[in-house]
Amino acid sequence: MKKIATLLLFLTAFLINAQEKKSTQKIQLVEVSCGQCKFGMTPKGCDLAVRIGGKSYFVDGVKIDEHGDAHAKDGFCEAIRTAEVIGEIKKGRFVVSYFKLLPKKM
């Protein structure tokens, strides 16, 4: 019985810690566009990127064509847009857990 109680206590502490960590991640406003076409990144090929604090990172978790044709007049290869994001930089890439493209400015 003590083992079960200890296990439940450990599991509860783990879940509380995980919830606290999740709630500390804040929404950031970032520039988002094609890494190659608009941010001058390599390797070659159109891929979604964000610019945070003047530094650009390719994005994992959202694809460039999920928000329309990247080569359209207002697409990511033609324009730099703004998005709300939650994520973290891992191994030089931005791993997104929340992504909301904001409306274009008129």
Q: How far is CA 60 from CA 42, 48, 99, in A?
A: 16, 8, 11
Does position 59 have pLDDT exceeding 80, yes or no?
Answer: yes
Choosing among 1.10.260, 2.40.50, 1.10.10, 1.10.3470, the CATH entry for 26-101 is: 2.40.50
| pLDDT of 98 | 96
3-state SS, residue 26: coil
Please report, for residues 11, 20, 56, 84, 105, the alpha-carbon distance to residue 26 in angstroms, rounded to integers and kept in the order given: 25, 12, 19, 10, 23
With cut-offs at 50, 70 and 90, classify the pLDDT of residue 104. Answer: confident
At 105 the pLDDT is 73
0.85 cut: is pTM over it? Answer: no
Please give the average per-residue pLDDT across 12-40, as a whole number: 78
Average of per-residue pLDDT values in the chain = 86
What DSSP character marks residue 1? -
